[in-house]
Amino acid sequence: MSENKTSDGALVRVDRVEKVFHRGAEDIHVLADLSLQVPTGEFVALMGPSGSGKSTLLNLIGGLDRPTNGTVTVGGQSIDRLSDRELAHWRARHVGFVFQLYNLMPVLNAERNVELPLLLTHLSKAERAQHVQTALAVVGLSHRAKHYPRTLSGGEQQRVGIARAIVTDPTLLLCDEPTGDLDRKAGDEILDLLQALNREHNKTIIMVTHDPHASARAARTVHLDKGQLRAETEK
C-alpha cells in the first residue's frame, strides 16, 4: 500500500467511530461518534484524563482493535474491513509502535530487539542487518548495538524501542505515553528524537500523553473527554 491520502487530504481518517466494550451484561462506551483527520507528516498529541479513550483511539488507528461502528482509513485503506490475517500484515508493514514500558526482550541485545519486526519480512539476513544499523544510527545508539536491555538506561531502552518502531520505515509512528516512565531529562531527549523523526524524516506521529510538556512538542494537540473530541489546539 502506498501512502495515498484520503479524498479529504488526510493520511489517517477516523470517521464517526464508536467503541463499546462488553463486561458481562454491562456495555462500556469508550468512544462516541468521534471523527479525526491527520495529514501526512503531522505530529499530533492526544490528551485527556484517564479513561477518556486516548489509548483506545490509538489502538484503532494502529489496527490493534476494531471499531464497534464507524470507519478507520489509513492511506486510503479501510483497515476496519481487513481480515485478521490481512490486518496483521498491514500492521507489520505500516505501523511502528512505541510503548511506555519499552517492551524489549531481555534475552536479546539491542540490535536483535530492533531486528524483530524484520523477521516478518522477506529481507535477507544481510538486508535486515543494514536496516537495523540504519535505525540504531538514527536514534544515536550504534555504539550500544550489542548491549542488553538490563545494561541500558531507561532513555536508551526507549531509543531502542523507537529504533524497533522505525526499522521497517512505517507509514505511521504511534506512541503511547513514550516518556511516561522517564525522568524529565531523558524524556526531553526522547521528545527531541520524535521531533527530529517528524521534521527531518517526515514521519507521521500520533502520541498519547497526559503531560502538557510532552504535548507542547506536537504541532497539534487533540483533547478527548468521555470518548469524544472536545477541543484542538495548534501551534
Q: Quote the CA–CA distance of 80 and 101 in Å, as a whole number.
A: 27
pTM for the whole structure: 0.91
The pLDDT value given to residue 40: 95
CA distance 14 to 205: 15
**Per DSSP, which regions of 62-163 are E strands?**
69-74, 77-78, 95-98
The count of residues in the chain is: 235
Summarize pLDDT for 59-106 with one digit per residue, the tens. 999 999 999 999 999 999 999 989 999 999 899 889 999 998 889 999
The whole-number pLDDT of residue 2 equals 39
Taking alpha carbons only, the member of 70, 81, 97 closest to residue 170 is 97
| Residue 71 in domain | no
Domain of residue 123 covers: 40-66+81-234
Question: Read out DSSP for 144-188?
Answer: GTT--GGGS-HHHHHHHHHHHHHTT--SEEEEESTTTTS-HHHHH
One-letter amino acid at 151 equals T
Q: What is the pLDDT of residue 120?
A: 82
- CATH code, 91: 3.40.50.300
pLDDT at 8: 56
Mean pLDDT over 18-27 rounds to 88
Is 85 inside any structural domain?
yes
Query: Does 29 reside within a domain?
Result: no
Tell me if 154 is assigned to some domain. yes
In a domain, 15, yes or no: no
In the chain, what percentage of residues exceed pLDDT 70? 96
Query: What is the phi-psi region of residue 63: left when phi exceeds 0, alpha when psi lies from -120 to 50, beta otherwise?
Result: left
What confidence tier does 24 reach under pLDDT thresholds 50, 70, 90?
confident
First to last CA, the chain: 31
16 within domain boundaries: no
Domain assignment present for 203? yes
Question: Closest Cα to residue 5, out of 82, 90, 74, 58?
Answer: 74
Q: Residue 7 pLDDT more than 50?
A: no
- Please report whether residue 115 resides in a domain: yes
Q: What is the pLDDT of residues 56-71, one digit of tens each?
A: 999 999 999 999 999 9
Domain count, the chain: 1
Summarize pLDDT for 165-203 with one digit per residue, the tens.
999 999 999 999 999 889 999 999 999 999 999 999 999
Tell me how far apart the 2 most distant CA atoms of the chain are, in Å. Answer: 54
